[in-house]
Amino acid sequence: MLDPPGQVLTRHTRCAAVLGSPISHSLSPALHRAAYLALGLSDWSYGAHEVQEPALRGFVAALGPQWAGLSLTMPLKEAAFEVADEVSDLAREVGAVNTLVRRPDGGWSADNTDVYGVSQALREAGCAHVAGAVVLGSGATARSVVAALATLGCAKVTFAVRSAARRETLDQARRAGLEVDVVGLDRLGDRLGEARLVVSTLPANALTGRVLGGGSAGVDHLLLDVVYAGWPTPLARTFQEAGASVVSGLEVLVHQAAEQVHLMTGLFGPVEAMRAAGLAAMASR
């Protein structure tokens, strides 16, 4: 069994960790440990392990009974389906698992808290109802965004992509009842007048302010950029300079982690304490 380094195990000890590759940059340990501290869970520990897709099944199989849950980041969000004994409807619909929770019978339940993270971040930004949105990218993260938009009443989503949009993402959006449109990233600026909400699921270095072309952001726009490192991104800076509201991916990360804490411990994640820990961890890098 895999035990957390430096921890003396007792029959009360509960362990959790984030898995992925690369993993050294992850803020999840800071967020979850802050939650345990605030909740008084002194017998809980949370670590980080470098795990590639081929090694996931063996890693999970080797975990002892003290292991309560796992957070999963890239590239494991699709491979996790293979190790789960039970999969939530939401995780199956978006095609991505970011959470494994130990079941009473020793098996693992798979879920997705990224959708919750996006919807909560938007609600906190004053976006409790969405008429339409522009989503940059069409990968796995975009599918979680689409699912979140559907819970907020979104009727139409426009995907702005560099090449072809992924068919599974378009199909998912249509199943959720959304009208779907696809444009090239070079036409993003043209669509800013149609939707006040823009969500970028692309890497920070994939975009610059010049991608807005002839269009422009304004004070009525809200940008949610799922990137949290190297903030603000070039796109976020462009929106900020135009007077738009901007939300960083840290908010999504904090809320999805808070829901993971809830699923793993049964207690509600302390969002403020977790956000403060995330900001402190980012400032120290």
Residues belonging to the active site: 77
One DSSP character per residue, 169-200 reads HHHHHHHTT-EEEEEEGGGHHHHTTT-SEEEE
Q: Which residues are paired to 283 by β-bridges?
A: none
Relative to beta strand 99-102, strand 67-72 is: antiparallel
* Count of other CB atoms within 10 angstroms of residue 175: 11
Q: Which residues are paired to 107 by β-bridges?
A: none
* Count of other CB atoms within 10 angstroms of residue 266: 8
Which residue type sits at 283?
A
CB burial string 142-156: b at 16+ within 10 A, e below: bbbbbbbbbebebeb
Relative to beta strand 156-161, strand 67-72 is: unpaired
The token pair that represents 182 in the structure block: 């696809």
Nearest to 94 by CA among 119, 77, 79: 77
Nearest to 108 by CA among 10, 183, 16: 16
* Count of other CB atoms within 10 angstroms of residue 94: 26
The length of the chain, given as a count of residues? 285
Instruction: Show the DSSP H helices in 74-187 as ranges.
Output: 89-94, 114-124, 140-151, 167-175
